[in-house]
Copies of this chain bind each other. A is one copy, B any other.
Amino acid sequence: IDEEKLKKAGKLARRLHAADLADLIERLSYEQRAQLLDVLRDSFDAEVLPYLDETVRDEVVELLGPETVGRAIAELDSDDAIAIIEDLDEGEKEAILAAVDPADRALLEEGLTFPEYSAGRLMQRELVAVPSHWTVGQTIDFMRTNPNLPDDFYEIFIVDPRFKPVGVLSLGRLLHNKRPVRLRDIMSGDFVRLQAETPQDEVAYLFRQYGLVSAPVVNESGRLLGRVTVDDVVDIVDEEAEEDILRLGGVSESDLQSNVLATVRQRMPWLLVNLGAAILATRVIALFEGTIEEIVALAVLMPIVASMGGNAGTQTMTVMVRALAMRELSVSNAWRVVGKELLVGLLNGVVMATLIGMVAGLWFSPLIGAVIAAAMICNLITAGLMGTLVPLTLQKCKVDPAVASAVFLTTITDVMGFFAFLGLATAVLL
């Protein structure tokens, strides 16, 4: 592309909202990205970085170089800065931290000491904390004259002399009271405190459960460190749901932006596990080679029983995995759900059995129809039972049910499907 056009593109790009510019950068090819960033380098908007997908961000950070990135990071809120730095490799991390001024660097380095995906990593350090003996008027005056106020905040935190949070107060409530009123009389003392180590899915759960807008984060000794705000939680909810969707689909990470080799590497383990499971299921078929040799119709029909079991089981499993992730399922109602799914499996089994029984009866023989119908009922009951028990068991063993349920479940329904159908056929037809 020629110079002229590129300059124009740069001008247009600079007028975009950071989020839209990030989308644009993601959609460009590598060469186009490099060219555009070259034009934008000197006036690069730091806010673009948090909006970029991780893979693309790595590229952009490399293209911009540590100095530009260091400058950009200093402009960002501390939570966004941490989110960007934590994903970089060690060398880049050091080069960029070296370009940040010492006070900011210390905060960033402290942030990085908290575990990944914890409240400590999510929190913003910028907040407003005042003592409980202050009045509404004092607080408003303090905010009016303090130049270091965060850009966006919706609640102020009330702290004791050791900087432990003792209350929160929404700005709306603050403004609704007269100047001489003391904060301790209007603050809410009953609020959620997050530990810096609290994992992010727990944070998301608490925000959702109690409809929070922001929450204070404290260290082990209860000192106020920062705050998590609801807009970060929207991103976590998204991320956690994405993780569940991808894992249920047998993908470990979103790889839309990854290159071919990285994608192959990410998807291979799951395919290997499934290959093992498929070979296991075929060992069951091999047991009945003699029967198939006599009645080839069985080979034609057998995938139906297995596949219907897999589908019905997946339905149940999906509902269970989602309910576990949303914490809607506990020991007290788990058994009721298992009982219900068994019944659902039986009823669906009877309907599907009738249909496939008639089709197979007309296509081959009534006896074959009866055998496939009976096998279908067996397998859909198995599917209902295993669709609930597999995720519950994995959850109990502290394995994420979204990752491993599908492969266990389909192996079981495949094995059961082949075994019930071919076994019954051997017993009845031979």
Taking beta carbons and an 8 Å cutoff, which residues of A are in contact with B? 17, 19-20, 26-27, 29, 53, 140, 143-144, 149-154, 170-172, 175-178, 207-213, 230-231, 233-235, 237-238, 241-242, 244-246, 248-251, 254-256, 259-261, 263-264, 267-268, 270-272, 274-275, 278-279, 281-282, 285-286, 289, 292-293, 296-297, 299-304, 306-308, 311-312, 314-315, 317-319, 321-323, 326, 328-330, 332-333, 336-337, 340, 343-344, 347-348, 351-352, 355-356, 359, 410, 414, 418
Contacts and interface: CB of A to CB of B under 8 A. Distances in A.
Given A241-B242, A304-B279, A27 B333 contact: yes
Contacts of A274: 307-308, 311
Nearest to A242: B322
A411 to B, nearest CB: 10
Copies of chain A in the complex: 2
A274 B270 CA distance: 24
Contacts of A340: 259-260, 263
Contact of A271 (B231, B308, B329, B414): B308
Given A237-B237, A278-B307, A256 B328 contact: yes
Contacts of A306: 303
B250 A311 contact: yes
A394 B274 CA distance: 27
B238 A213 contact: no
Contact of A319 (B19, B170, B238, B246): B246
B153 A172 contact: yes
Given A172-B149, A264-B348, A211 B237 contact: no
